[in-house]
Structures are given as C-alpha cells and as structure tokens.
C-alpha cells in the first residue's frame, strides 16, 4: 500500500519551515523512527522521524525548499500505519473564543492580537517534540504529554516505549499557563507595506526569497519596533582589570571546553543589575494593565551564525559560576553556528545581551527582544586616554581599555533615571572583577 507522509504539525504556532538536509532517498528501506530529514522552523532545526516501516518510493523535497504543514514530503510503499498520511502533534488546548460579532461574517485573516499571542507563546519553555505519528497517537490515548518524556531514540526522538514507560510511572503535574497567556492584547493594526516599483526598469536585479532565520527575524523585529517605545542609554566601562583577569583564566576554561569572553562576564553583571532593578527583568501586559516580574534570570546572547542572528538562552545565570557559563555559552554558540539549536534553547529569555565588539562594532542601539523590555549592546573594547587622579591627587592621562555599552529599554515600564542607575550598576560590577567573583 502507498502511504504519503506529510509534514506534521510541529506545534507552537509553526506552520512552515525550510528543509536543511534530506537523509532519505528513493529506494531506501526505513524503520519507524529513522530520521528522514531536518527542517528549520523559527530558527530551530528539528529532525523529522519516519512514521512508517517500509520502502521509500519517492522523495519530493530537497535542501533549501520551503515547506508547509500538510505538504507531502515522502511516499512509502509497504504496510500502512493508521494516521501516517495525516500526522498530527498532540492537541494544544485552545481558549474559547467569543461569539461572532456583527462584522465577523466570512473568514478573516489572522488578527494582530492572534499574531502577538502566537509570538508570545513561542517564548514559552516548550518546543516541538520529535516523535512519529504512531507515537503521538499512543501518547494521546494514554494521556501523556510528550514534553514531559525523556527521549531514548536517535536525535532526541521519543519512542513508543518511552511513552509506555512514562505512562506507567504516573501522570505528570499539569503545567502552569504561560505568563500573560490569558490576556487579550490590544494593538494598533500594522501599517500595510505599499507595493514596490519594478526596479528592473532601471537596471539588473537579483531576487532572493525571504526564508528561515531572516524571515523569523524580520517578523520579530517589526513586532518589537512597532509595539515598544525604545529609548537608549549609552555608557562606557573600563575593562582593563577585567581583561587581565580574563586572559589569566582563559586557558583553564578552554581546557574544560569553554571560552571565557567579556560577554559571559557581562551576563553576570547584568544579573547583578537586574536584581537591583527588577523592572528590566519583566514583561508588560498592556491589556491586563500589569507588569509581570520574573523571579528567574535567563539571559539571551545574540550569536552571529551563517544562517543569521540566533539568540540562544543561558538559563539561571544567577545560579552558575562564570566558568560554568563559559562552558555552556561555548556549547550554545557551536550549536547555533552549526544550525543545531533546538527551539527550547531559544525560548524563555528575560534579558538579552548582544556583542558587536567581535566584528569591530562600537556604540549601537539594539532592538529589544519582545516580550522582554530591555537589551544591552556591547561594543569593541579599545585603548583610550583616560584622565585619572594619581596617588598624590593630581590628574594624569593613562591608557585604559574602554568598552562602550548601550542599554535599550521600554520607556513604558522604566524611566531614564532607572536606566542610568541600571547602567551604573553594570559598570561598577564590570570594573571591579574581584568584587564580581566575591558576589557570585
């Protein structure tokens, strides 16, 4: 019997993706659970397992293709498995919608509120779970949440045996709703982009589709810029002593698989400041007229990758040593640049750091990573002449290593004075590395 395998619903509001790599080819004999291809969705790469045991007769995808949920990916020949032709993720509970109003006749495009809610949900702590349709069906029958299962299959695949074992151990406690999930956010409708002229009438052009990471970045940046009134506070920090400390301990950290960078120290300093000024570690719920303070410190760190800007998250920065963070950060950077970052590693950040110094950047104003309310931009540290008082109290000019800082923040939740004090706390922490070590 011929079975058509369609791109399954990966959940979390994901409807399309870009094929990164195809492992299967016509003529291959595969077993249920074998990886067939990798698809990149909203910056995360997910391996899609085979839902079927049999012979592959047709592969209809190639690396670089943009595919949508429900598109036929691969055709099998063999014993059919129920639901293989229409795999589905575990159902996601939906909030009841109000009855139709006088203007609700007919189908409408997704509202801005829906788009924002989907974007907010993508910042939860749950990502798509690799599992075959048969395994998903078994999980639904047994009432098991795939996210709660420890996978034992290849590339993190949840197998049917994993589901049965988890079901025998008893049901997990229900997960708390996402922050602000119940709120309905009122937004100003977006401005519709006007049609572009035909540029080819003035000269030769080249056209490239907006795909994958660049598409996700475009959506996120447009949302953040349209919804958040940005204000930027600039500063400078003397990292001369910190750089000396970094160089002394960098070889030891490297031997442990990490990379000791100023970004790691900045993450620690940011947590020290966020604890003093919790408004910058929050989210603003305009519809509910409330501020959601987060009592955890997950710092997103922007990484320049071949696919574009990726922002993996260092979790629980306040509970880890600088050495531990250096090792974890290096692992995140490696996975991001290899295109192996999971969706879960991109979610749940409470504050973001972006370092343009690695490519020679100076002062710049970064865009806030919605639904966060602040982001810190680091520039390249360079030697500058600084006027200081010597031991006799007389002014003298000395060379110091100075790094530019820019704090972009949401002016609805914090004022300029708050941002200045936040910046001063970060500067004081970075300029005194011994005190930083003692405090953490």
* Cβ contact 82:57 at 8 Å: no
To the query of whether residue 249 is one of the catalytic residues in this protein, the response is no
- 74-122 pLDDT per residue, tens: 888 865 443 333 333 333 333 344 444 433 333 333 333 343 333 333 3
Residues 6+ apart with CB under 8 A from 316: 296, 297, 298
pLDDT of residue 305: 86
Q: Tell me how many degrees the CA angle 13-216-153 measures, rounded to the nearest 5.
A: 60
Residue 219 has pLDDT above 70, yes or no: yes
Share of the chain above pLDDT 70, in %: 78
What homologous superfamily is domain 213-439 in, according to CATH?
A: Chloramphenicol acetyltransferase-like domain (3.30.559.10)
Confidence tier at 315 by pLDDT (50, 70, 90): very high
pLDDT of residue 280: 97
pLDDT of residue 128: 57
- 341-397 pLDDT per residue, tens: 888 898 999 999 999 987 888 889 999 999 999 999 999 999 999 999 988 889 999
Q: Is 168 left (phi over 0), alpha (psi -120 to 50) or beta?
A: alpha
Let me know if domain 2-92+123-168 sits in CATH 2.40.50.100: yes
Q: Which two tokens stand for residue 215?
A: 């598409």
Which member of 147, 230, 363, 411 is catalytic? 411
| Sequence ranges of the domains in the chain | 2-92+123-168, 213-439
- 423-439 pLDDT per residue, tens: 999 999 999 987 776 65
Residues 6+ apart with CB under 8 A from 393: none
**CA–CA dist 347, 74 (Å, integer):** 31
List the end-to-end C-alpha distance of the chain, in Å, as a whole number. Answer: 63
pLDDT (average), residues 151-157? 69
- 39-52 pLDDT per residue, tens: 877 657 777 888 77
> Helices 133-142 and 160-168 sit at what angle, rounded to 10 degrees?
10
* Cβ contact 352:372 at 8 Å: yes
pLDDT (average), residues 272-284? 96
Residues 6+ apart with CB under 8 A from 399: 383, 384, 385, 386
- Reported pTM: 0.64
* Cβ contact 58:230 at 8 Å: no
């Amino acid at each position: 019997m011929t079975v058509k395998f369609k791109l399954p619903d990966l959940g979390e509001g994901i409807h399309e993706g870009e094929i990164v790599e195809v492992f299967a080819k016509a003529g291959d004999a595969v077993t249920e659970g074998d990886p067939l291809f990798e698809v990149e969705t909203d910056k995360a790469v997910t391996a899609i397992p085979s839902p079927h045991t049999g012979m592959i007769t047709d592969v209809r995808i190639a690396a670089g293709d943009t595919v949508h949920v429900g598109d036929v990916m691969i055709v099998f020949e063999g014993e059919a498995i129920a639901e293989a032709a229409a795999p589905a993720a575990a159902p996601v509970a939906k909030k009841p919608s109000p009855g139709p109003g006088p203007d609700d006749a007919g189908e409408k495009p997704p509202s801005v509120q829906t788009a924002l809610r989907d974007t907010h949900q993508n910042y939860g702590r749950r990502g798509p779970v690799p599992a075959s349709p048969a395994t998903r069906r078994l999980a639904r029958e047994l009432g098991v949440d795939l996210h709660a299962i420890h996978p034992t299959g290849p590339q993190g695949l949840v197998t049917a045996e994993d589901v049965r074992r988890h079901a025998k151990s008893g049901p997990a406690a229900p997960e708390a709703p996402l922050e602000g999930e119940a709120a309905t956010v009122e937004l100003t409708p977006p401005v519709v982009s006007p049609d572009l002229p035909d540029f080819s009438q003035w000269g030769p052009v080249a056209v490239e589709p907006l795909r994958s990471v660049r598409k996700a970045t475009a959506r996120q940046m447009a949302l953040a810029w349209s919804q958040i009134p940005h204000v930027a506070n600039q500063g400078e920090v003397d990292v001369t002593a910190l750089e000396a400390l970094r160089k002394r301990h960098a070889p030891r950290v490297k031997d442990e698989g990490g990379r000791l960078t100023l970004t790691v120290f900045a993450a620690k300093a940011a947590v020290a400041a966020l604890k003093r000024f919790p408004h910058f570690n929050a989210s603003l719920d305009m519809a509910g007229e409330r501020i959601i303070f987060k009592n955890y410190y997950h710092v997103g760190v922007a990484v320049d990758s071949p696919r574009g800007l990726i922002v993996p998250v260092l979790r629980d920065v306040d509970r880890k040593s600088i050495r531990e963070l250096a090792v974890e950060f290096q692992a995140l950077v490696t996975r991001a640049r290899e295109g192996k970052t999971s969706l879960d590693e991109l979610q749940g950040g409470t504050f973001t750091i972006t370092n343009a110094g690695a490519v020679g950047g100076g002062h710049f104003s970064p865009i806030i990573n919605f639904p966060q309310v602040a982001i810190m931009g680091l520039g390249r540290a360079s030697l500058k002449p600084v006027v200081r008082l010597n031991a006799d109290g007389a002014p003298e000019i000395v060379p110091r290593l100075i790094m530019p800082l820019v704090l972009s923040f949401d002016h609805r939740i914090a004022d300029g004075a708050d941002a200045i004090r936040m910046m001063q706390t970060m500067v004081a922490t970075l300029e005194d590395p011994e005190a930083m070590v003692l405090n953490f």
